A and B are shown apart, each in its own frame.
Chain A
Amino acid sequence: MTETAKKLQIALYWGAACGGCDVAVLDTNEFILDVAAIADIRLWPIAVDGKYADVEAMEDGELDLVLFNGAVRNSENEHIAKLLRRKTKLMVAFGSCAHIGGIPGLANRFTKEQIFETAYLDNPSIEPGNCTVPLPETHVAAGALDIPYAYKRVYKLDDIVDIDYYVPGCPPAPHQIKAVLLAIATGNLPAKGSVVGASNRTVCDDCKRERAEKKIKKFYRPWQILQDSSKCLLEQGIVCAGSATRSGCGVRCPNSNMPCRGCYGPAPHVKDQGAKIISALASIIDSKDPQEIDRILEDIPDVMGYAYRFGLPASLLQRRV
């Protein structure tokens, strides 16, 4: 007696996102056809026509898998995250934004009011004399219109819903996405809460550049020197987060001759990626004189931006006080 295997029911959704994670899924190329052979994609706004009403009509747990990319920035992001969590057996925080807050998380350094001012008031392109701002509810002649309420800060996904697995990266490398989907399809997953689709090493471990000794008397911005592309960037005085960043990306930025900025998040067991990055930078300063140390550090502007480029909401302090 044979039983036709039931197709997996899956959904891909985006919060405060850019679409890069969805493109990364498409970048698995022919593999997407293999996925379609074993799964029904019930919601994936970039590519299929499933609507929220279709999700609301599902039974709880009807979905086998949700890949949620993007951070939580407004009431709609939260509402749909919670809706999907109810309707699915497994929920995966997919990509940097869902995992650690991502680039949108940089907004946590500012207040909503400051961001609003830049967008709608103090802006060279705004209609002269503009006083209008978007509101959660507007009354027009025909009726009432609503838009999501903008939160005062960015949250990563597991601040809002319980998460089963994390797939890091901005975006996750397509070969890693394939590996994760295969693992899920074959039921071959590690303990709940694990980071999957990445290694347990750091980018520095996987980087092919030569490493000798790091003794820095001066830090350089990437454009200030013509770097040696065979040698460690940090050793040349260019700030690189590779030593404090989980690997799995294929070292794609240093291989482009640009420093790592940490998109795969902290190395295993590390609670705060930025603390490790600043520790690493401090440890290579070649000085015992406090004044000289201060002068050397003047060449690192925007410390928070290097420490938490992708993971500000995931840091211990999460946002500016």
Chain B
Amino acid sequence: MARTIKIDPITRLEGHGKIEIFLNDDGGVDDCYFQIPELRGFERFVVGKPIEELPRIVTRICGVCPASHHMASAKAVDGCFGGEIAPVAKKLREMYYQAHYIHSHIAHFYALAAPDFVCGPDCDPATRNILGVVGKVGLEIGGAVIKARAMAQDIQTILGGRATHVVWCIPGGVSKGLTQAELDRIKPMADQLYDFTLFSLQLFRDVVLGNPGYVDLILNGPFTLNVHNMGLVDANNAPNFYDGQVRVVDYEGKEIVRYEPKDYFHHVAEHVEPWTYLKFPYLKQRGWHGFTEGIDSSIYCATPLSRLNVADRMATPRAQEAFEEMFSVLPQKPCRALLAQHWARLVEMVQNAEVLKNFCADPEITSPDYRVVPQNITGEGVGIVEAMRGTLTHHYTCDDKGICTSANLIVGTTNNNAPIQMVTKKVAQALIQPGVEVTQGVLNRIEMAFRAFDPCYSCATHTLPGQMPLEARIFQGGALRNVLKQNL
């Protein structure tokens, strides 16, 4: 008699989700499904709104990466106004965005991911969390982590007025600039954050790379997929989280496509399955061929590791050193070992900190000309940024009064829906074997598969699918058990 194991809810991530594992008679895994139960409807309910309101509404898609949506939205809105924007506003936005990345990456690494490595994947669930991490590393380090994330949030607040759910970007620029006094408060924090990013890399070396069991898990465990990679790059093929072209590279390192934001819908489409509210993006030109790996696969990841996989170099020197170190240890580039995402995240943070410091030293950054009054409404725009969890696309149209007529979003984590489904199943099949006791530690290791992606399911499930007139017939053991009708 087959039975199921349910992990509900999945934890130490942003958003709702559950994992349903079907066992076959001998106790091995028959199948495994990663389901997202959430839905809200942003793409519909922003229609009819003044387009300038969208950047401050779409932040509420996610409270961990609100500025990602704010920036992508602002760029799409810029497009609706013919791209007219004060030059220093672009710098200010990109500066803010680095601090935003740092807050989120610190939160993810220390609060969401570290418990599995510092406390251990099998430890008591009651202590396998940020509080358990602080207990293990001590209050001094714990305090430093909290202080660092607080500084990243403070920098955002000083610069843009708010951290969570910032309301700063406006057609033509941003609503407030940076005064010298404000910059003087940010500078020392930026320096301390730079030191903290290096400290985090060292902690990773000590705790993770220094533990042969973890290295083995990363390099040789089942947490690997032969799928492709997507990320934003600048003209030098270095990651740029705020702007650039989207580059897709296959897992052998060959470029599949490189596109401008406005061309996104030629290259990415979304597949629907009935057992989850979240859609599955795939490479449109290749078509949907199911959850399959391989060089011809249309499945891709968009993650910190993907960003580094598609990049030829980093944009800043110390980050470049960290990038070279990482790929000297990992077996190949592009790297397919998905747990390496935790490392990639910390390498990125170094670039975030260096770019932040560069903006602090930019004499134009305190310019009072942070806004212009746009003169034309041109009616359409696409904004793409790298959200911390993946390539984020906002596409808007508006009428001649600047009222939104449509919105289409492809969100960071959504890109990774198929890879997460695939790797979760792979790991479940590897870890749940006949005769093996399924402990909470085993289930936690299955959760570690998605956790590496730093998923954000509030982001991913901005949409509400609604109900069609349908009849569903439920069978068990060949016999019809139930007939469900909706709207019939």
A: which residues have CB within 8 A of B?
A: 14, 16-24, 26-27, 29-30, 32-33, 36, 40-41, 45-53, 73-74, 76, 102-104, 106-107, 109-120, 123-128, 130, 132-145, 147-148, 150, 170-171, 221-226, 229, 252-253, 255-258, 261, 301-302, 305, 309
Select from chain A the residue with minimum beta-carbon distance to B160: A256
Contacts known (A21-B63, A258-B175); A124 close to B408, Cβ less than 8 A: yes
Q: Does the CB pair A226–B371 fall under 8 Å?
A: yes
Q: Is the CB of B275 within 8 A of A140?
A: yes
Chain B, residue nearest A227 (CB): B175
Interface residues of B (CB under 8 A from A): 2, 4, 7-16, 20, 22, 30-31, 33, 35-41, 43-50, 52-53, 56-57, 60-64, 66, 81, 107, 111-112, 125-126, 128-131, 134, 139, 142-143, 146-147, 149-150, 153, 160-168, 170-172, 175-176, 265, 268-277, 279, 281-282, 288, 371, 373-374, 395, 401-403, 408, 410, 444, 456, 458, 463-468, 470, 472-476, 484, 486
From B4, B35, B271, B402, A130 is in contact (CB under 8 Å) with B271
Are B165 and A47 within 8 A (Cβ)?
no
B residues in contact with A33, CB < 8 Å = 131, 134, 139, 142, 146
Please determine whether B41 and A107 come into contact, CB atoms closer than 8 angstroms.
yes
Among B9, B62, B125, B139, chain A packs the most CB atoms within 10 A around the CB of B9
* Least CB separation from A37: chain B residue: B131
B165 proximity list for chain A (CB < 8 A): 20, 170-171
B160: chain A residues within 8 A (beta carbon): 256
Contacts of A74 in B (CB 8 A): 37-39
Task: Return the contact of A26 from the options B107, B268, B401 (Cβ within 8 A).
Answer: B107
CA of A103 to CA of B53, assembled, Å: 12
Which interface residue of B4, B269, B464, B486 has the most chain A CB atoms within 10 A? Answer: B464
Q: Is the CB of A115 within 8 A of B402?
A: no
Partner of A127, one of B63, B270, B395, B408: B270
B150 closest partner in A (C-beta): A29
Tell which of A52, A116, A130, A252 touches B466, judged by Cβ atoms closer than 8 Å.
A116
Closest to A104 in B: B40
CA distance in complex: A125, B11 (Å) = 30
A192 to B149, CA, bound (A): 35
Closest chain-A Cβ to B205's Cβ sits at a distance in Å of 25
Q: Beyond A49-B125, A130-B271, A256-B168, is A150–B456 a contact (Cβ under 8 Å)? A: no
| Of the residues B62, B176, B410, contact of A256 by C-beta under 8 Å | B176
Q: Known interface pairs A119-B464, A120-B465, A257-B176. Does A139 touch B474 (Cβ–Cβ under 8 Å)?
A: yes
Contact A118 B277 (CB under 8 A): no
Which chain A residues lie closer than 8 Å to B486 at the CB level?
135-136
Supposing A46-B13, A137-B484 touch, asked if A126 and B269 sit within 8 A by C-beta, the answer is: yes
A139 and B473 form a contact (CB under 8 A): yes
List the B side residues contacting A226 at CB < 8 Å. 371, 373
4 A-B pairs besides A18-B63, A120-B466 with CB distance below 8 A are A32-B130, A74-B39, A134-B272, A226-B371
Return A301 CB to nearest CB of chain B, in Å: 6
Q: A73-B39, A124-B265 are in contact. Are A225 and B44 (CB under 8 A)?
A: no
The answer to whether B11 and A221 touch across the interface, beta carbons within 8 angstroms, is no
Can you list 22 residue pairs at the A/B interface with Cβ under 8 Å? A27-B153, A27-B164, A29-B146, A49-B128, A49-B444, A50-B125, A51-B7, A115-B45, A118-B463, A119-B466, A125-B408, A125-B410, A127-B270, A144-B474, A144-B476, A145-B20, A145-B35, A170-B60, A221-B52, A224-B373, A258-B161, A261-B56
Chain B contacts for A23, CB-based, 8 A: 63-64, 107, 164
Q: Please state if A133 and B468 are interface contacts (CB–CB under 8 Å).
A: yes
Q: How far is the CA of A223 from the CA of B282 in the complex (A)?
A: 37
Closest chain A CB from B204 CB (angstroms) = 20
**Chain B residues within 8 Å of A135, by CB:** 274-275, 470, 472, 486
Question: Which partner residue on chain A sits nearest B404 by CB separation?
Answer: A302
- The answer, among B31, B129, B270, for a CB contact under 8 Å with A140, is B31
Across the interface, do B163 and A76 meet the contact criterion of CB distance under 8 Å? no
CA distance A133 to B270 in the complex (A): 12
Q: Once the chains bind, are A46 and B373 in contact (CB under 8 Å)?
A: no
Closest to A223 in B: B171
Tell which of A29, A114, A124 touches B147, judged by Cβ atoms closer than 8 Å.
Answer: A29
Task: Name the B residues within 8 Å of A223 (CB-CB).
Answer: 52, 81, 170-172, 373-374
Kindly identify which residue among A32, A76, A128 contacts B269, using a CB–CB cutoff of 8 Å.
A128
Q: Please tell me if the beta carbons of B403 and A302 are within 8 angstroms of each other in the complex.
A: yes
- Cβ-closest chain B residue relative to A169: B165
- How far apart are the CA atoms of A301 and B467 in the complex, in Å? 30
- Contact between B456 and A73 (Cβ–Cβ < 8 Å)? no
* Most interface-central of A45, A118, A302 (chain B CB within 10 A): A118
With contact pairs A26-B107, A255-B161, A301-B401 given, residues A134 and B277 touching in the complex (Cβ less than 8 Å): yes
Which 6 pairs, one residue from A and one from B, show the smallest C-beta to C-beta distance? Answer: A20-B63, A116-B466, A256-B161, A119-B463, A142-B22, A142-B31
Q: Judging by beta carbons under 8 Å apart, are A19 and B402 in contact?
A: no
Are A27 and B31 interface neighbours, CB within 8 A? Answer: no
| Residue in A19, A128, A229, A252 whose CB lies within 8 Å of B458 | A19
Least Cβ–Cβ distance between A101 and chain B, in angstroms: 12
Given contacts A23-B164, A116-B464, contact A145 B395 (CB under 8 A): no
A258 vs B481: C-alpha distance when bound (angstroms) = 57
Contact between chains at A139 and B472 (CB < 8 Å): yes
Q: Tell me the minimal C-beta distance from B357 to chain A in angstroms.
A: 23
A102 touches B60 (CB 8 A): yes
Q: Would A116 and B170 count as touching, CB distance under 8 A?
A: no
Bound CA span A119–B279, Å: 9
Name the CB-closest residue of A to B10.
A45
Contacts of B15 in A (CB 8 A): 19
On whether the beta carbons of A112 and B464 are closer than 8 Å, the reply is yes
Cα A126 to Cα B279 with chains together (Å): 9
A103 to B165 Cα, complex, angstroms: 12
Q: A223-B52, A223-B170 are in contact. Are A51 and B11 (CB under 8 A)?
A: yes
Q: Which of A23, A40, A126 has the most CB of B within 10 A?
A: A23
B272 touches A46 (CB 8 A): no
Contact of A19 among B64, B281, B408 (CB under 8 A): B64
> Do the beta carbons of B168 and A258 come within 8 Å of each other?
yes
Q: How far is the CA of A76 from the CA of B36 in the complex (A)?
A: 12
Residues on A with C-beta less than 8 A from B171 are 223
> Across the two chains, which residue of chain A brings its CB closest to B65?
A19
In the docked arrangement, what's the CA distance between A130 and B408, Å? Answer: 17
Given the interface pairs A36-B131, A107-B41, the reply to whether A136 lies near B464 with Cβ below 8 Å is: no
Residue of B nearest to A170 (CB): B165
B52 touching A104 by the CB < 8 A rule? no
Most buried by B among A29, A103, A170: A103
A62-B63 Cα distance, complex, nearest whole Å: 30
* Minimum C-beta distance from B153 to chain A (A): 6
Option from B64, B161, B476 in Cβ contact (under 8 Å) with A252: B161
Q: For residue A36, which residues in chain B have a CB less than 8 angstroms away from its CB?
A: 131
Chain B neighbourhood of A113, CB < 8 A: 466-467
Q: Is the CB of B12 within 8 A of A256?
A: no
